[in-house]
Amino acid sequence: MHKAVVAKIDALNEIPGANAIQVAHVLGECVVVNKNAQVGDVGVFFQPELQLSEDFCSNNNLFRDKERNKDKEKAGFFDSTRRVRAQPFMKVKSMGFFVPFSNFDYTGKVNLKVGDQFDELNGHKICQKYISEKTLRAMGNKNTKARKKMEVPDFKEHLDTEQFKYNANRIPKGALISITAKLHGTSARYGKMKVYEELPKWKRLVNKVYPIFPGYKWDYVAGTRRVVLKTQDKDKDGFHGSEAFRFEWLDILKPHLSEGLEVYGELVGYANGKPIMPEHDIKSLKDKAFTQKYGDNVVYKYGCLEGENKFYVYRITLTNSDGETIDFTYPQIVSWCQKRGIDIVPEVCKPFIYDGNEEKLRNLVAELTEREDCLSEDYIDHSHVSEGVVIRADYVNMQPMLMKSKSYAFRVMEGICDAIDPEDAEGEIV
C-alpha cells in the first residue's frame, strides 16, 4: 500500500520540554503533531517510505527551501526528496506524517472518511512510493537496453506485502498465523516452468494443420523480484554486479524443482566482493545505546563470511497445466525445505490459529518487531539490527495474506541510507 490513509488520533502524550509539539497515536504508530491536535481528530496519515508530491508540499508550505513554497515567508521541514521518514524528535520516535483535512483544501471539495486510502484527489497527485534517484538511474539504464523477450507466463512475481499496522483488521478469525523474520537482501525466485519462444515459420505452418508443436519447453528459470533472467544473463551485470551469484543458487535448487514449482526467497550476505545491501549508519538513530552495541555502522551479513551469501525461502507455489497457482502453507514450506536441507526464513514464534483478538495480535507483532530488550537485534545475526517481521495469514483462499512490520531502528536508518534495490522496482520481463 503506497497511499495515504484517513485515520483518527486515538491518544496524545506530552513531550517533556516541548512547547509546540506532542505525540499522537495514529493507526498504532507514534507521530509528532502540533499542540492544537486533540484526541478524536480525523486527518490523513502518511507512512514512512512514501514521497509527497511537489504540488502538495508547495501548497502547504512544507519545503525547507522557502522559494519552493506557495507562501515564500514560510518554511517547513521537507527536503527536495519530499520523502516521509521515520525519525526522532527530542528522543521521541515519529513514524510518519499526520495532517488535518485542511491541507487538501487546494484540491477542491473532498469527502473522506476513516479508512479511505488515496494517492490523488480531484486530479491532484498527493503521494507515491519513494524511489531514490540512484534507483531511478539504474532502472533507466536497464530499460534502455534492447533485449529479446522470453515468455514465461507461469513464472509469477511475488505477492505484494502490505503494511501490517494498516491492514491487521483484514485478517479473518480462524486464519493460520505464521510470523517470520524479515531479511534485508535482494529478492530471488527460481522455478521449472514452461518457457515459450517463437516457433520457426515451418512449425507454425504445420501447427495450422496439425497442432503438434507445443511452442514451449520445460526449463529452469531464475529471476529477481520483477525480472526474468535468461541463462546467458549469468555473466552480465545487474545492480549488484555480475548476476552469476543468482544462478549459483539455481544450480543448487535444480534437483528439487518439479514442473510448475516456483520457490521465492531472499539472497543475503555478499555478492561480487561487497555486501548485497549497503551499510546503515547507526549514528542516525542518535542513541548511544545502539552505537555502543553495534558500532557506527552495520553490515547486513546474516552470519555470512565475506564473499559468501545465503538463500532463505519464504514462499513456494505450484502452478498446474491450466495456469492456476496454489500456495504451499507455511508448515508445508517448512517440511519441503527441511527434507532438502534448504534454509527457510526463521519463524519468530510458533504458528497459531487467530482468535480474532486484534489488539492482542498487534501487541505481539509490536513486541516481535521491536525487541526493545535487545535493541532490535536481528534474529539470525546479532551483530546487526533486525529489519522486522512478516506476518502470514493462511485461510480459505489459494493465496495467503502477507504483511510486513519493520522495526523503528531499521526504518530510521533506511530513511538516511535511501537503499532501495532497483531489482525490486523493475517492471520489464526480459
Q: What is the mean pLDDT of the chain?
A: 89
Q: Residue 240, CB half-sphere, CA atoms under 13 Å: how many?
A: 29
Task: Of 200-204, 240-244, 331-335, give the lowest mean pLDDT range.
Answer: 200-204
What is the structure's pLDDT at 390? Answer: 98
What is the C-alpha separation between 75 and 323, in angstroms, rounded? 55
- Cα dist from 269 to 225, 245, 275, 303, whole Å: 17, 11, 6, 8
pLDDT reading at 424 higher than 60? no
- Cα dist from 100 to 42, 103, 184, whole Å: 7, 6, 34
pLDDT band at 91 (very low <50, low <70, confident <90, very high): confident
Average pLDDT, integer, range 5-25: 91
Q: Is the dihedral of CA 187, 193, 194, 196 positive or negative?
A: positive
Residue 178 grid cell: 505464521
Average pLDDT, integer, range 359-378: 96
What is the structure's pLDDT at 137? Answer: 62
What is the structure's pLDDT at 140? Answer: 59
Strands (E), 83-126: 87-89, 92-94, 97-100, 117-118, 120-121, 124-125
Strand partners, 46: 97
Within 10 angstroms of residue 199's Cβ, the number of other Cβ atoms is 15
Q: Where in the chain do CATH 3.30.470.30 domains reside?
A: 135-424
pLDDT reading at 133 higher than 80? no
What is the structure's pLDDT at 409? Answer: 93
pLDDT reading at 305 higher than 50? yes
Average pLDDT, integer, range 90-101: 88
DSSP of 268-285: EEEETTEESS--EEGGGG
Average pLDDT, integer, range 29-45: 93
H helix runs in 275-320, sequence order:
288-294
State what percent of residues in the chain have pLDDT above 70. 91
Question: Does CATH number 2.30.29.30 belong to domain 135-424?
Answer: no
Task: Of 62-71, 119-128, 205-214, 421-430, give the lowest mean pLDDT range.
Answer: 421-430
- Cα dist from 51 to 47, 84, 96, 129, 417, whole Å: 9, 6, 11, 6, 15
Helix (H, G, I), strand (E, B) or coil at 38: coil
Average pLDDT, integer, range 48-76: 94
Average pLDDT, integer, range 324-343: 95
pLDDT band at 147 (very low <50, low <70, confident <90, very high): very low
What is the C-alpha separation between 368 and 180, in angstroms, rounded? 9
CA angle 106, 111, 117 (to 5 degrees): 90
What is the C-alpha separation between 53 and 126, in angstroms, rounded? 5
Strand partners, 259: 192
**pLDDT digit string, tens, across residues 179-234:** 999 999 999 999 999 988 787 888 778 778 888 877 788 999 999 988 888 776 67
Average pLDDT, integer, range 357-371: 96
Average pLDDT, integer, range 122-150: 68
What is the structure's pLDDT at 150? Answer: 54
Average pLDDT, integer, range 293-297: 96
- Cα dist from 406 to 74, 88, 391, whole Å: 34, 16, 11
**pLDDT digit string, tens, across residues 249-272:** 999 999 999 999 999 999 999 999
What is the C-alpha separation between 313 and 86, in angstroms, rounded? 29
What is the structure's pLDDT at 417? Answer: 46
Within 10 angstroms of residue 421's Cβ, the number of other Cβ atoms is 21
What is the C-alpha separation between 49 and 96, in angstroms, rounded? 9
Of the candidates 75, 7, 69, which has an alpha carbon nearest to the alpha carbon of residue 44?
Answer: 7
What is the structure's pLDDT at 212? Answer: 81
pLDDT band at 145 (very low <50, low <70, confident <90, very high): very low
